[in-house]
Structure 1
Amino acid sequence: MTQPVLDQAPASSAPTQGRRGGVLAVAGVAATGLAVGVLLAAVDPHEPGHYPTCPFLATTGLYCPGCGALRATHDLLHGDVVGALARNPLTVLAAPYLLLAFVTWALRRLGRPAPRSTSLPPWAIWSLLALVVGFGVLRNLPGFAFLSPA
Structure 2
Amino acid sequence: MTEASVTPHGPQFAGDPFTPPPADRITRFTDWLRAHTPVWAGPLAALACIGGALSYTQLADPANVGADATPTCLVKMLTGFDCPGCGGTRAAWYLMQGDLPAAARHHIMFVFAVPFLIYMYVAWAGNTTFKWKLPQLKIGPKHIAFFLAAWGVFMVLRNLPWAPFTYFFV
State whether TM-score is above 0.5.
Answer: yes
**What is the aligned partner in structure 1 of residue 82 from structure 2?**
63
Distance in 2, matches of 1:120 and 1:77, equals 26
Higher relative contact order, chain-length normalized (CA < 8 Å, sep 6+): 1
Shift of 1:37: 1.1
Tell which structure's C-alpha radius of gyration is larger: 2
Preserved CA contact (<8 Å) 1:44 1:50: no
CA distance in 2, matches of 1:32, 1:121: 26
State the 1:26 CA deviation.
Answer: 1.3
- The CA deviation at 1:20 is 4.7
Which segments of structure 1 move beyond 3 Å, counting only runs of 4 or more?
Answer: 17-20
TM-score (norm 1): 0.78
Contact 2:120 2:136 (C-alpha < 8 Å) held by counterparts: no
CA offset at residue 142 of structure 1? 2.3
Native 8 Å contact 1:19 1:111 kept in 2: no
Identify the match of residue 26 of structure 1 among 43, 50, 58: 43
What TM-score, normalized to structure 2? 0.69
Q: Any gaps of 5 or more consecutive residues in structure 1?
A: 1-16
Identify unmatched segments of 5+ residues in structure 2.
Answer: 1-33
Query: What displacement does 1:22 show?
Result: 2.1
User: What's the C-alpha RMSD, in Å, of the aligned pairs?
Assistant: 2.1
Change (3 A) 1:110 1:20: farther
Give 1:19 shift.
8.6
Name the count of aligned residue pairs. 133
For residue 166 of structure 2, what is the aligned residue in structure 1? 145
> Identity, % of aligned pairs?
29
Contact 1:19-1:110 within 8 A present in 2 as well: no
- Counterpart of 2:20 in structure 1 is none
Q: CA deviation at 1:121?
A: 2.7
